Chain A
Amino acid sequence: MNHIIWRTGPWGNSSLAHENEPVVKDDQTDIYPVNCAKVDWPNQPWRLLYNKDSDISLDTGTAALGAPITASGDIYATVYLDFNWQATQDFDVTLQWDITTSSTSGSIFPTLYWLWDTIEGTDDYYFDTPADNGTIDITLPASTYGRFQAYADGLGAEDVVNVQTEASII
């Protein structure tokens, strides 16, 4: 059964549902793009807030569905992906990750984590130490306000001196 829900956003969180898009995209503001399931609003494209964090740099911004975000570091590189959603029906997204190093020896220790929760009180999470690359499908429920957060993290082991972590929501 479909439901009618009032639109929130364009940015916000569960407490501040109607925030304007911030000039400076920074996860410290704790507000995120509010999307319509997996499609564009009539006047707002689907977006997420990314945070590229490593031992040598930090960068935030917005990205479209399917756009790969890559963080680079000497020791570690983490990509955070955050968005909120409203949806009248359940929908699926895919989290993609690919962690690499240019070091000829050593290995990468990947970590993957996603979670979502809704204003209706439902939630789910996933934490794993996965293979260096892959995809995972996630079903997000119909909700008047949901929050999705994920990160892919690559940590270089021993003599690794270069790590790239790429992640995207497809």
Chain B
Amino acid sequence: MNRFFQLPNGSVIPFIPKCGLASTAGSIFFHQKKIKGHNFKLTRPVLNHDNKPALAPIRDAVERFKSAVYQVNKGDQSITVDEILDGLEAGTYRNQHFQSQTDILKGCEGCESVKLYRFPEDFKQMLIDGGLDQLIEHRNKSTDKLELTEEQETRVRAFYAEDIALRATLD
């Protein structure tokens, strides 16, 4: 099951956590406010892409993993990198922030087209191609840079091998 942002020009953005979701939602809000046709319900990601063209941000898998670890440790939550990796490898830890990008993209099957953009490098262009204004500010950005051990990074690269291969096609 996947969700999609609906864009003003009739395309959609698949809901990929840690790839600019807050900024995408903000851009849609400001666009609707500008055209004075604001409908808050339209900012809620929907479950169907209705075969529309999809625009998808693809992030370096290791950087995305680091950002996801930061995300799930906000507030009073606490889980270590090793606990997360153990759970992901065993299939016992499920959290949307760690779902692979290639897995999420499978939800775009049936879309008229799927155009991939490097995140964050080409994120602004993706918004423009979706009929939105350029990003005003980056929201929900990680403020603490997590450092992985060599062993942890090796495990991340192995777990997200397909994401890394996909991203390599864009670099």
- Is B3 on the interface with A (CB-CB < 8 A)? yes
Taken residue by residue from 26 to 59, chain B's Cβ proximity to chain A (1 for < 8 Å, 0 otherwise) reads as 1001000100000011011101000000000000
Give residues of chain A (68-105) contacting chain B, Cβ–Cβ below 8 Å. 75-76, 78, 80, 82
Q: Which residues of A contact B25 (CB under 8 A)?
A: 113, 125, 127
Least CB distance from B83 to A in Å reads 15
Q: Report the Cα distance A127→B45, complex, angstroms.
A: 12
- Interchain CB contact (< 8 A) of B96 among A109, A117, A134, A149: A109
Whether B3 and A117, one on each chain, are in contact in the complex, defined by CB atoms closer than 8 angstroms, is no
Q: Are B44 and A75 in contact (CB under 8 A)?
A: no
Q: How close is A56's CB to chain B, nearest CB, in angstroms?
A: 13
Whole-angstrom CA separation of A106 from B41 in the bound complex: 27
Are B22 and A127 in contact, with the CB atoms below 8 A? yes
Min CB distance A132 to B, Å, is: 10
Give the shortest distance, in Å, between A48 (CB) and chain B (any CB): 13
Q: Please report the C-alpha to C-alpha distance between residue A106 and residue B145 in the assembled complex, in whole angstroms.
A: 29
- A123 contacts across to B, CB distance below 8 A: 33
Are B77 and A131 neighbours in the complex by a CB distance under 8 Å? yes
Complex contact B94–A134 (CB within 8 A)? no
The yes or no answer to A141 lying at the interface (CB within 8 A) is no
Cβ-defined contact, B43 with A129, below 8 A:
no
Given A107-B94, A134-B75, decide whether A129 and B41 contact each other with a Cβ distance below 8 A: no
In the bound complex, residues from chain A placing their C-beta under 8 Å from that of B71 are 129
- How many residues of chain B get a CB closer than 8 Å to chain A's CBs? 26
| Complex CA–CA separation, A127 to B139 (angstroms) | 8
Decide yes or no whether B21 CB sits under 8 A from chain A. yes
Residue A115 lies at the interface, judged by CB distance under 8 Å to chain B: yes
Complex formed: what's the CA distance from A158 to B72 in Å? 20
CB pair B45–A111 under 8 Å, yes or no, is yes
A41 to B43, CA, bound (A): 31
Would A128 and B140 be within 8 Å (CB), given that A109-B96, A115-B29, A134-B75 are in contact? yes
| Contact present for B1 and A155 (CB under 8 Å) | yes
The answer to whether the Cβ of B95 comes within 8 Å of any Cβ in the partner chain is yes
**Closest chain B residue to A160 by CB distance?**
B1
> CB distance B21 to A127 under 8 Å?
yes
Q: A127-B22, A158-B94 are in contact. Are A151 and B140 (CB under 8 A)?
A: no
| A153 on interface, CB distance cutoff 8 Å | yes
A20-72 contacts to B, CB under 8 A, are 27
The residues of A that contact B131 with a CB separation of less than 8 Å are none
Evaluate contact between B77 and A153: CB separation under 8 angstroms.
no
Interface residues of A (CB under 8 A from B): 27, 75-76, 78, 80, 82, 106-107, 109, 111, 113, 115, 117, 123, 125-131, 134, 149, 151, 153, 155-158
Q: List B residues at the A interface (Cβ < 8 Å).
A: 1, 3, 17, 21-22, 25-26, 29, 33, 40-41, 43-45, 47, 71-72, 74-75, 77, 94-97, 139-140
What are 14 A-B pairs at a CB distance below 8 A?
Answer: A80-B40, A80-B41, A106-B94, A107-B96, A115-B40, A115-B43, A123-B33, A125-B26, A126-B139, A131-B77, A153-B44, A156-B1, A158-B1, A158-B94
